[in-house]
Amino acid sequence: MKSDLLMVVKDLSVHYPNRSALHKISLEILANEAYIILGPSGCGKTTLLYAIADLLTHKACVEGSRIAPRPLKKSLVLQDYGLFPWKTVLQNVMLPIELETRKDDKASERAMFMLKHLKLDAHLDEYPSTLSGGQKQRVALARSWVIEPDLLLMDEPFSSLDALTREQLQEDVLTLFNQSRMSMITVTHSIEEAVLLGRHILILSDEGTLSHEIINPTFNLERARENEAYYEQCIEIRKLLKEDQYEKTALPL
Ligand SMILES: Nc1ncnc2c1ncn2[C@@H]1O[C@H](COP(=O)(O)OP(=O)(O)OP(=O)(O)O)[C@@H](O)[C@H]1O
């Protein structure tokens, strides 16, 4: 196995009691890489993310394998932040450290660095109810980063934020990604977000198969939104999604 391999997913299929969600998905997840899961609504993006995170409900029947050559530290960021309302910003961020059995002397220092970087240092003792959506999502990001995960999993993390806040947070994620050695997997509906945050773009079809796995040459491009190559890549991805849709609806000759 390659030394920088975090996980090998082989022939993964997931069946819920009333329907199947994924069909024979195979992929490799490498260290220090950025992955996107993109596809139409209901195609199984969240199911794939949860399968990788090992968080599928007990009702899901899973076939195939997910093999990690070494134990992985994983963190999950959800669309609705998942903060504890009775804990302050700092307490929310430090929670995963408290739950760890291993002593981590540098954790407080790391948490403070993260909170400062994400411009939350003036809100340490505030409760989530007093924060804006963007601030809450920053707390969730800081919390997921503080344990220095091998794999950061994000389920539509910015979809409930306004456009400017979303853009700022996407920049924050890229900066933190570039300063770390982790891999991240982001589920999104947005082609623009996919091209911004993913070097590997995995496109699922309506039937829950992996229809395309694309290497995005514009990933990590400086000031991507001011660059033509970024928009050309968005157009390419949009074409592939439309072709998938067309193939599905085309009448047989
Ligand atoms: N716990 C569950 N029990 C039964 N069916 C489920 C469950 N979770 C998801 N499904 C079904 O599996 C399919 C895939 O769901 P999933 O949430 O993974 O898709 P998605 O691509 O993330 O959707 P969206 O883009 O709308 O969030 C859907 O048809 C959904 O109804």
Residues of the chain with CATH 3.40.50.300: 1-73+151-253
16 Cβ closer than 6 Å to some ligand 1 atom: yes
- Please report, for residues 14, 29, 151, the alpha-carbon distance to residue 200 in angstroms, rounded to integers and kept in the order given: 22, 10, 15
CA of 44 to the centre of ligand 1 (A): 6
DSSP secondary structure letters along 89-101: HHHHHHHHHHH-S
| 86 or 160, which is more confident | 86
Whether 103 lines ligand 1, by a CB cut-off of 6 Å, is no
Query: Residue 58 C-alpha to ligand 1 middle, in angstroms?
Result: 15
Tens digit of pLDDT for each residue in 123-137? 999 999 999 988 998
165 pLDDT band (50/70/90 cuts)? confident
Cα–Cα separations (whole angstroms), residue 167 to 38, 45, 90, 171, 237: 18, 22, 24, 6, 20
| Cβ atoms 168, 199 nearer than 8 A | no
pLDDT digits 0-9 by tens, 190-242: 999 999 999 999 999 999 999 999 999 999 998 899 999 999 999 999 999 98
Does the pLDDT at position 251 exceed 60?
no
3 state DSSP class of 227: coil
Note the CATH number of domain 1-73+151-253.
Answer: 3.40.50.300
